[in-house]
Amino acid sequence: MARISDLLAGGRTYSFEFFPPKDEAERATLVRTLRDLEPLAPSFVSVTYRGGRESRQRTYDLVTGILRTTTITPMAHLVCVAHTRLELAEILLSLRQGGIENLMALGGDPPTDPAAGPGELLHAMELVELARAIGGFSIGVAAHPAGHPLSPDMASDRRWLAAKMALADFAVTQFFFEPGEYSGLVEDLAALDEHKPVLPGIMPVTSLRSVPRMAQMGAAVPAWMVERLEAADAAGGDEAVRKEGIELACELCRAVLDTGAPGLHFYTLNRSTATREIYSSLGLGPAPAPSAAAPGGAIGAAQ
Contact (Cβ atoms closer than 8 angstroms) between residue 142 and residue 168: no
Closest C-alpha to 298, from 28, 19, 5, 11: 28
Phi-psi region at 291: left, alpha or beta (left = phi > 0; alpha = psi -120 to 50): beta
Does the active-site annotation cover 17?
yes
Question: How many other β-carbons are positioned within 10 Å of the β-carbon of residue 56?
Answer: 22
Name 283's Cβ contacts closer than 8 Å, sequence gap at least 6: none
Contact 65, 92 (CB under 8 A): no
Type of residue at 263: G
**Catalytic hit among 17, 181, 194, 277:** 17
Report d(CA 266, CA 280) in Å as an integer.
Answer: 14
Q: In which element (H, E) is residue 201 found?
A: strand 198-202
C-alpha–C-alpha distance, residues 30 and 13, integer Å: 22
C-beta of residue 176 within 8 angstroms of C-beta of residue 182: yes
Distance from the Cα of residue 250 to its chain's centroid: 17
Residue 221 carries which side chain, given as an amino acid letter?
Answer: V
Q: Which residues are catalytic?
A: 17
